[in-house]
């Protein structure tokens, strides 16, 4: 599947070329978008609904922090290692390419793509796992980055984002691949809120999430396409993979990303054009699962990555517990007040006050601490930890650009 570049079926390519302005009958229409507050953010010719969502996301502080949240290689001081800011652009680009050919709503695709990782923690999925463990221990509830992305948009910053964008963000989780993505029906925010709450209560519920739009389905598969090959390129840059240590069959790992993106894009288009679902061929689905497993075996669970994560984990626990105490003591000199709570109240309190909501009063201590830690970039987390616990000689060192130079 990923040995050589796959080309589109000539007959289908001809059909597509003859229908260059094709719009799928299954695309989600901008005028059908739903907002919580329908009196605000009304669409117009200049700013359609999902274009507004894109801009709402772009101007969030959480979007700005993408630039210093790494994907896999968190402790590498190397500007060529992928940050989430780049990852969400890759997802958007791949998903828009697929969506354009399939005649879908490109603005909805972009809004979901750009917002899908807003709730991600510092230190990637390892940080997500650490935060979930602490949150669950105290509350019995579960933390997942896709659910928290919805919370960032819909609760912390209260941006009145459309139901369709929020649902695509919630259901984007590319860790759970499917052979066929057929949208699930979603009619209201009440139904959506039940889905969100189920994710907090039921550990396995996120595995059963299906986007309600074809656009959301495209973003979900594009999330996987975007990271499998790129993470291999990053592994080469980070020195985890080299000519003396290359577990992949093809020696030219750097080329995997382009092959994966091209071949899966072609396969999806061939199996989904004009359909009411997004589908992979049997061969592509099997290959995608196999290639993702290789990444887990040889990259994500590599000994050096696990060692770095092992050093980070106790820092999460100590910081989490201290911030809980600071809230219990109402210590307004704490960084959680100065850098997080006051930021939310100062910039967004007026929006909340209208319906009687007060972030500091109405949210639990654990939720506020999770909001704060999840918002942090990798560098901020390390700097804050050193500031909070100067006596702790932490065993965390960033790998320098020059560490391998003689």
Instruction: Strands of 142-205 (E only): list them.
Output: 180-181
Lookup result for tokens 């061939």: 270
Give the integer Cα–Cα distance in Å for 225 and 222.
5
Rounded CA-CA distance 268/212 in Å is 18
10-306 in CATH: which number?
Answer: 1.10.3210.10
> By three-state DSSP, how is residue 19 classified?
coil
Q: Give the pLDDT score at 256.
A: 84
Please compute the mean of the pLDDT values over residues 122-130 and round it to a whole number.
94
Rounded to an integer, the average pLDDT of 326-354 is 83
What pLDDT, on the 0 to 100 scale, is given for residue 175?
A: 64
Which two three-digit tokens encode residue 92?
Answer: 């958007």
Query: Are 108 and 50 spatial neighbours (Cβ–Cβ below 8 Å)?
Result: yes
CB atoms under 10 Å from CB of 164, counted, come to 28
Spatial separation of the C-alpha atoms in residues 123 and 125, rounded to whole Å: 7
* CA–CA distance, 219 with 195 (Å, rounded to integer): 19
Whole-number pLDDT of residue 11: 95
- Is a pLDDT exceeding 80 seen at residue 254? no
Higher pLDDT, 2 or 382: 382
339: left (phi over 0), alpha (psi -120 to 50) or beta: alpha
pLDDT at 405 over 60: no
Over range 19-35, report the average pLDDT: 94
Written as six digits, the tokens of 136 are 């669950």
DSSP label of 277: S
Given this model, what pLDDT does residue 177 score? Answer: 73
With beta carbons less than 8 A apart as the criterion, state whether 253 and 233 touch.
Answer: yes
Q: Report d(CA 363, CA 138) in Å as an integer.
A: 14
Q: What is the pLDDT of residues 47-80, one digit of tens each?
A: 899 999 999 999 999 999 998 898 888 888 888 8
For residues 248 and 120, give the distance between their C-alpha atoms in angstroms, rounded to a whole number. 29
- The whole-angstrom separation of Cα 204 and Cα 95 is 26
- Residue 375 tokens read as 């918002």
- Band (pLDDT 50/70/90 cuts) for residue 126 is very high
Residue 406 pLDDT class (50, 70, 90 cuts): very low
Q: Where are the domains of the chain?
A: 10-306, 307-388
What mean pLDDT is reported for the chain? 90
Q: What is the pLDDT of residues 145-157, one digit of tens each?
A: 999 999 999 999 9
**Rounded-to-integer distance, Cα 255 and Cα 233, Å:** 8
Question: Which pLDDT score is estimated for 143?
Answer: 98
């Amino acid at each position: 599947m990923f040995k050589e570049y796959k080309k589109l079926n000539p007959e289908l390519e001809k059909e597509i070329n003859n229908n260059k302005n094709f719009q799928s009958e299954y695309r989600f229409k901008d005028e059908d978008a739903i907002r919580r507050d329908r009196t605000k953010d009304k669409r117009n010719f200049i700013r359609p609904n999902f274009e507004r969502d894109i801009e709402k996301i772009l101007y969030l502080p959480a979007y700005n922090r993408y630039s210093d949240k790494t994907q896999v290689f968190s402790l590498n001081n190397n500007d060529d290692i992928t940050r989430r800011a780049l990852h969400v652009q890759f997802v958007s680009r791949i998903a828009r390419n697929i969506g354009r050919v399939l005649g879908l709503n490109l603005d909805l695709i972009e809004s979901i793509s750009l917002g899908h990782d807003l709730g991600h923690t510092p230190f990637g999925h390892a940080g997500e796992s650490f935060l979930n463990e602490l949150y669950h221990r105290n509350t019995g509830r579960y933390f997942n980055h896709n659910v928290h992305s919805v919370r960032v948009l819909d609760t912390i910053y209260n941006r009145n984002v459309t139901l369709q964008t929020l649902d695509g963000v919630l259901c984007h989780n590319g860790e759970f691949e499917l052979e066929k993505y057929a949208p699930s029906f979603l009619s209201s925010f009440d139904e959506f809120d039940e889905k969100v709450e189920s994710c907090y209560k039921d550990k396995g519920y996120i595995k059963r999430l299906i986007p309600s739009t074809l656009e959301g389905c495209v973003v979900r598969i594009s999330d996987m396409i975007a990271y499998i090959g790129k993470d291999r390129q990053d592994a080469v840059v980070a020195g985890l993979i080299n000519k003396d240590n290359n577990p992949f069959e093809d020696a030219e790992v750097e080329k995997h990303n382009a092959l994966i993106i091209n071949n899966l894009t072609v396969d999806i288009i061939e199996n989904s054009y004009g359909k009411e679902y997004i589908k992979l061929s049997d061969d592509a689905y099997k290959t995608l699962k196999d290639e993702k497993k290789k990444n887990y075996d040889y990259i994500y669970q590599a000994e050096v990555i696990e060692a770095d994560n092992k050093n980070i984990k106790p820092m999460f626990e100590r910081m989490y517990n201290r911030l809980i105490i600071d809230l219990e003591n109402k210590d307004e000199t704490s960084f959680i007040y100065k850098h997080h709570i006051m930021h939310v109240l100062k910039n967004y309190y007026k929006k909340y006050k209208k319906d009687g909501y007060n972030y500091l009063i109405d949210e639990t201590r654990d939720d506020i601490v999770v909001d704060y830690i999840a918002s942090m970039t990798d560098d901020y987390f390390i700097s804050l930890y050193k500031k909070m616990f100067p006596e702790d000689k932490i065993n965390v060192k960033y790998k320098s650009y020059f560490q391998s130079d003689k």
